[in-house]
Structure 1
Amino acid sequence: MYKAKIFVNYKPSVLDPQAQAIHKALVRLGDDNVATVMMGKYFELTLTATDVDAATAQVDRICDRLLANVSMETYHFTVTPVGEATV
């Protein structure tokens, strides 16, 4: 079994009004040293794939088909065996 940790964010060229609102609020609260804010989505999947290559291919396919709108978002992920210590 493998665990996939997936992060999905807007592409840098896409306007993210929610992140801009958070940035403005941080500045108003005195945290004016925050240069940028990026919002995104986080997913964890546990897969019963036969090996890490099969799990990686499956996660990539799932991200392309369902979890990310690839015209507006990018994603990256890690795939590790279940039970392996992760940082």
Structure 2
Amino acid sequence: MVAVTAWASLDANVLVGFQRLLADRWGVATLFDAYFGFLWFWLWIAYKEGRPGRSLLWLLLLLTLGNLAMAAYVLVQVARLQPGEGPEALLLRRAS
């Protein structure tokens, strides 16, 4: 993602690219699809974190960095798993 983002940035500023995207109906549909997915992913984060401040930080990261933030969140959660913990430990909120 970083490489593709850098490559696209060589062609045009992100704001110019955004304007081009909004000028095309498929561009709007693609953005809607992506951000709808980011919001659903964030709902899981909000549930899992249980802390508004942390959840809002992740929302900001998702809305600005997209899939890079999603990947970072999952990697952090996987790194926190203890030996022998299964998928439920990854997906569900930890007991306080």
TM, length-normalised to structure 1: 0.31
Higher relative contact order (CA 8 A, sep 6+): 1
More strand per residue: 1 or 2?
1
More helix per residue: 1 or 2?
2
TM, length-normalised to structure 2: 0.29
